[in-house]
Each structure stands twice: as C-alpha cells, then as structure tokens.
C-alpha cells in the first residue's frame, strides 16, 4: 500500500501511466473503485478535471498533463526520502517476488544467495523462473530479470550484467583422434547441442571475427531449453555446445571440459532487472540490487 499522504498522488501517476483504472489498481494493490474514488476526490478538491474518461479509454487532460509533469518527480523524491529515513537495512522485512528466465536467474542469483540471506534474514526472496513473457504487474511480481534484448519497453531498467561472454565447449577427450574445429564452419562436421529460443525455434550460434558479429546455424540431435541439460549432455559426450562462459568456467579450469574456437568468441547483450510500480525502488529491492552489484564488482576484480 502507498504511504499516508501520498496515496492520491501515486494513484494519479499510476492511472496516467497505464491510461486506465484496472491496471493502476493492480499495480497499487487497490480496488478499481478505490482508485476511481481517489481520482475523483482529488479532482474535486483541485476544482479541475485531470482525466478524460470514456467506456474504452482514460487519458490526461491538458491540466492533467501539467499536474503529472510537476508531481511525478516530487512524489518520487518524497517516497525515496521516506524509505531512507524509515528503513534501517538490518530491519528490512517482507517478501520480494522476482520473475526471471532460468539462465538469467542462475547467472545473477547463484553468487548472491548467501550474502543476501545473511545480511537481510527477514526478507523472503521468492524467485520464479520461466521462459515466457510475463506481465509482472498483473501477476504480482516486484521485479523481473531478463536479457536486455527482451526487456519490456514500459519498465524502469537497472543493468546488472553488461555483457555475457560465450564459449564453445566439449567434454575432455571428446574429440579423441579427430581434430577439434578450427573455424566456425568446421562445426558442420560435429554434433552440436542446440538451445531453444523463447519463440520456439532453435538458436543459431554466435561468433565474432574482425569485430564483426555473425550467427551460424548448426545441427545435432539435441535441442534443449535448459543450460543444466545442455551441460549434462556435453558431459555425456553427446556433442559440443555454446554456453555462457560463467556457467562452465570452473569445469574448464578443472580439465573436465575443453573450449574451442576461442578466436571467434562472441558476447551476448547483458541482463537487467526491471520494475514498475511506485516509480521508485522499494527498499528491499534496492538492497538486492546493491548486493548483486557488490558481488559483480568483486568478481571483476
């Protein structure tokens, strides 16, 4: 729920953003009638209509546009100030619900679980992983995490990982007496374990040569949508795979996997957290972002 004294302003901003009462009500955890009453009440006290209303749409009047442009930054600053004044990090509590693709969740959260739970033991971190596009507002999530190429356009994005290095790997001894691929085109002679795009099609493999990126279609008997399954298939010598470097780096150093085509290594766009809502970052979400950045900075060093 919104903080006392700011509820009506937050309602106006949410209705303006969504151009409707129902989605604003979902975002604010209010009933549609309560949102409508809040808008009507403020309009009555101001003596001016802020929204045009029809059975099909809601849009700002000219006066409403002026009001929103002035009120939005002020409300955001007030909410941030109230969070900072009232939220001692050690006393943060509640449930933080995050929706993420599986690959992004493994990359972002696996290194931070222990630090986050030790520093904020009263916060329950509820992470749901799935590949489909999710409306985090209507489904009750505080934030989502997706690759930058798949971020919803109407959300506030916070970069977490700038880019994702890729590597082509095989099990140690997989090539035997066969020469490993020297060029991307050589992959046509090998069984490649492919991943599936969110739309359902197998993904091509990404390479870079002379600062030019390109994608190569590969073939093989396995198409998998889980990095764990891909790695298990590689370990069982079912073929070679292209995966994020972070996911196999320890196995490469341990000699369990070998990497090939390093001269053509490419990167994918990074990963960001995105959120909507009160137009500011809730204290618990801000704490999570801080720890993710701490861990990322330490890994870079």
pLDDT at 5: 52
For residue 41, what are its two tokens?
A: 């009440």
Whole-number Å distance between alpha carbons of 143 and 134: 10
**Residue-by-residue pLDDT tens, the chain, 301 positions:** 344 456 788 888 889 988 888 888 887 778 888 889 889 988 888 899 999 988 778 899 999 999 988 888 887 777 766 666 555 555 778 889 999 988 888 888 888 999 999 999 999 999 998 877 788 887 888 899 988 877 877 788 888 888 889 999 999 999 998 999 999 999 999 999 998 866 666 788 999 998 899 999 999 999 998 888 999 999 999 999 999 998 899 999 999 999 999 999 999 888 899 887 555 677 888 889 889 888 877 765 5
Partners of 164 in beta bridges: 268
pLDDT at 269: 86
Confidence (pTM): 0.63
- Domains belonging to the chain, first-starting first, are 7-86 (1.10.10.10), 89-161+270-300 (3.40.190.10), 163-269 (3.40.190.290)
Phi and psi, residue 274, nearest 5°: -135, 150
pLDDT at 235: 95
pLDDT at 170: 97
């Amino acid at each position: 729920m919104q903080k006392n004294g700011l509820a009506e302003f937050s309602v106006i901003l949410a209705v303006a953003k969504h151009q409707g009462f129902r989605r604003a009500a979902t975002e604010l955890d209010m009933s549609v009638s309560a949102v409508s009453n809040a808008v009507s009440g403020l309009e009555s006290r101001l003596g001016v209509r802020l929204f045009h209303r029809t059975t099909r749409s809601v849009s700002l009047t000219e006066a409403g546009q002026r009001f929103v442009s002035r009120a939005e930054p002020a409300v955001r600053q007030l909410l941030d100030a109230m969070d900072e004044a009232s939220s001692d990090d050690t006393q943060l509590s509640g449930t933080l619900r995050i929706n993420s693709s599986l690959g992004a969740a493994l990359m972002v959260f696996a290194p931070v679980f222990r630090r986050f739970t030790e520093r904020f033991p009263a916060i329950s971190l509820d992470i749901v992983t799935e590949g489909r596009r999710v409306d985090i507002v209507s489904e009750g999530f505080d934030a989502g995490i997706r690759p930058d190429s798949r971020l919803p356009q109407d959300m506030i994005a916070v970069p977490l990982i700038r880019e994702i290095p890729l590597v082509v790997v095989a099990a140690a001894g997989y090539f035997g007496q066969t020469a490993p691929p020297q060029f991307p085109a050589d992959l046509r002679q090998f069984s490649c374990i492919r991943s599936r795009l969110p739309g359902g099609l197998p993904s091509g493999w990404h390479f870079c040569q002379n600062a030019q990126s390109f994608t190569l279609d590969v073939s093989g008997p396995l198409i998998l949508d889980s990095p764990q399954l891909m790695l298990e298939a590689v370990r069982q010598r079912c073929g070679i795979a292209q995966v994020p470097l972070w996911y196999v780096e320890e196995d490469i150093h341990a000699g369990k996997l070998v990497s090939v085509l390093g001269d053509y290594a490419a990167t994918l766009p990074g990963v960001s957290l995105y959120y909507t809502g009160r137009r500011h970052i809730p204290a618990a979400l801000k704490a999570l972002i801080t720890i993710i950045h701490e861990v990322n900075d330490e890994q870079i060093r």
